[in-house]
Amino acid sequence: MAKKETIIIGIAGASGSGKSLVSSNLLKDFGPHEVIVLKEDNYYKELINMPLSVRSQMNFDHPDALDHDILRNHLETLQAGEKIEVPQYDYATHSRKSETVSVEPHKIIVLDGILILTDPALRQLLDIKIFVDTPLDICLLRRIQRDTVERGRSVASVLEQYEKTVRPMYLQFIEPSKRYADIIIPLGGKNEIAIDIIKTKMNALLGDG
């Protein structure tokens, strides 16, 4: 196996499935000097020209809501050894913030997002494709806790969005994309055996034994 200078790990799954825990475990094990985590959420399309009342009703769980073209360009730029400016997303206003975050090239790029395996061109850039498979009732409970505490949403609004778009889009797009995964992880970041398998594959790709 030829050694690679940069590898990209894609971690997909339902919202609340535990993708972020898998990402944080890889970041902790390999260290921030080698790993950078990119969030697909930061690449939502800009909707600032729409009234907030309209933006809040958009389907953010459909692939069309995301600007995968910019995301792919950023991944290719990092692979080429150049830094990128990552957009930052404001969940309260459903729009991009004015500021960006500079990200330098890293040895390992971890891409975390619900819809990353639905895009054929994006999949081509991924060296390891992971799907975190968690029961939807657990995902919903985690989403309620996260969105009410971190994103200022009411429980009623979270449940309404879940019923209207989150669950239907999971069944239509996200769950079917599981077939493209190299590794499917039950129990998310708490599945130590699966995490060890991923780390072994990462080291093999990097030529680190």
Query: Which residue segments constitute the domains of the chain, with CATH numbers given?
Result: 7-206 (3.40.50.300)
Q: How far is CA 94 from CA 11, 42, 65, 91, in A?
A: 23, 11, 11, 5
Give the whole-angstrom CA distance, residue 82 versus residue 100: 16
DSSP string for the chain? ----S-EEEEEEESTTSSHHHHHHHHHHHH-TTTEEEEEGGGGBPP-TTS-HHHHTTS-TTSGGGB-HHHHHHHHHHHHTT--EEEEEEETTTTEEEEEEEEE---SEEEEE-TTGGG-HHHHHH-SEEEEEE--HHHHHHHHHHHHHHHS---HHHHHHHIIIIIHHHIIIIIGGGGGG-SEEEETGGG-HHHHHHHHHHHHHHHT--
Maximum CA pair distance of the chain?
54
Measured on CA atoms in the order 19, 103, 64, 128, is the torsion positive or negative?
Answer: negative
DSSP-assigned beta bridge partners for residue 183: 130
Is the distance from CB of 17 to CB of 134 less than 8 angstroms?
yes
Neighbour-count burial of 181, counting CB atoms closer than 10 A to its CB (0-12 exposed, 13-18 middle, 19+ buried): buried
Which pair of structure tokens corresponds to residue 104? 């330098």
Question: Which residues does 4 contact at the CB level (< 8 Å), separation at least 6?
Answer: 127, 205, 206, 207
The verdict on pTM exceeding 0.85 is yes
pLDDT by residue, tens only, the chain of 209 residues: 557 889 999 999 999 999 999 999 999 999 999 999 999 999 999 888 888 878 878 899 999 999 999 999 999 999 999 999 999 998 878 888 999 999 999 999 999 999 999 999 999 999 999 999 999 999 999 999 988 888 888 899 899 989 999 999 999 999 999 999 999 998 776 788 888 999 999 988 888 65
